[in-house]
């Protein structure tokens, strides 16, 4: 996803209204996610692969992570 913006500006979306499949539709896609309640936590998210569902539950799921 490319957005033509002046340098230093970013597009922000309302996570309550967006569907994650809109952005992560194939392996290798990355996105920066800023979680900010005054702490400015920034995460780099990479969609590595789609796995088959295993039972019920909430999807998508994070199956691994690191600091």
Sort residue 21 into left (φ over 0), alpha (ψ -120 to 50) or beta.
alpha
Q: Is the pTM of this model over 0.85?
A: no
Q: Are 18 and 7 in contact (CB under 8 A)?
A: no
Percent of the chain whose pLDDT exceeds 70: 91
The residue-averaged pLDDT of 11-36 equals 84
Q: How many Å separate Cα 13 from the centre of its chain?
A: 11
pLDDT at 28: 92
């Amino acid at each position: 996803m490319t957005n033509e913006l002046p340098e230093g500006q970013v597009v922000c979306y309302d996570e309550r209204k967006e569907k994650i499949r809109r952005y992560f539709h194939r392996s290798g896609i990355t996105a920066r996610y800023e979680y900010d309640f005054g702490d400015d936590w920034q995460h780099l998210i990479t969609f590595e692969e789609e796995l088959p569902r295993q039972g019920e539950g909430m999807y998508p799921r994070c199956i691994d992570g690191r600091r």
